[in-house]
């Protein structure tokens, strides 16, 4: 099955966090062995946030994110100019925040899928 491409407007903010999944084993005499899990090493996680938008537009974007929730991967880049290459992510969760009478904001977390 082909993987979809998620494109967000360039007005969305994106903040990158990098983690390295490890396994720790406690050894005798207080020593500890730490091993990186998998072969990929660092995993990217991006917190993305929309600007204020009308509720209906925000709802349309949320419907799009629901398709990718948790298990359905998508290609995405924080840079629409693609100076940062697209990688495969899943949407780990999102929040819709009301910013006044008519404005809403979406915050979501994209987690890189390792292969």
pLDDT in tens, 20-55: 877 888 888 888 888 877 776 788 999 999 999 999
Task: State how far the Cα of 66 lies from the Cα of 84, in Å rounded to an integer.
Answer: 25
Per-residue DSSP letter, 66: H
| Closest to 52 measured CA to CA, from 13, 10, 106 | 106
1 has a pLDDT exceeding 80: no
Two tokens, residue 37: 């899990």
Q: Average pLDDT of 99-112?
A: 93
Banded pLDDT at 115 (limits 50, 70, 90): low
With b for 16 or more beta-carbon neighbours within 10 A and e for fewer, the 60-97 pattern comes to ebeeebeebeeeebbebbbeeeeeeebbebbbeebeee
Q: What is the pLDDT of residues 66-103, one digit of tens each?
A: 888 778 899 999 887 778 889 999 999 999 999 988 89
Task: State how far the Cα of 54 lies from the Cα of 69, in Å rounded to an integer.
Answer: 22
């Amino acid at each position: 099955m082909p993987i979809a491409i998620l494109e967000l407007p360039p007005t969305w903010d994106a903040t990158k966090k990098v983690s390295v999944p490890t396994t720790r084993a406690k050894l005798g005499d207080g020593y500890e062995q730490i091993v990186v899990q998998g072969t990929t090493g660092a995993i990217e996680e991006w917190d993305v946030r929309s600007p204020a938008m009308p509720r209906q537009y925000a709802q349309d974007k949320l419907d799009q994110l629901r398709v990718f929730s948790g298990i359905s991967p998508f290609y995405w880049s924080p840079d629409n100019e693609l100076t940062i290459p697209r990688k495969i992510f899943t949407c780990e969760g999102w929040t819709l925040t009301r910013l006044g009478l008519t404005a809403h904001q979406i915050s979501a977390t994209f987690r890189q899928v390792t292969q």
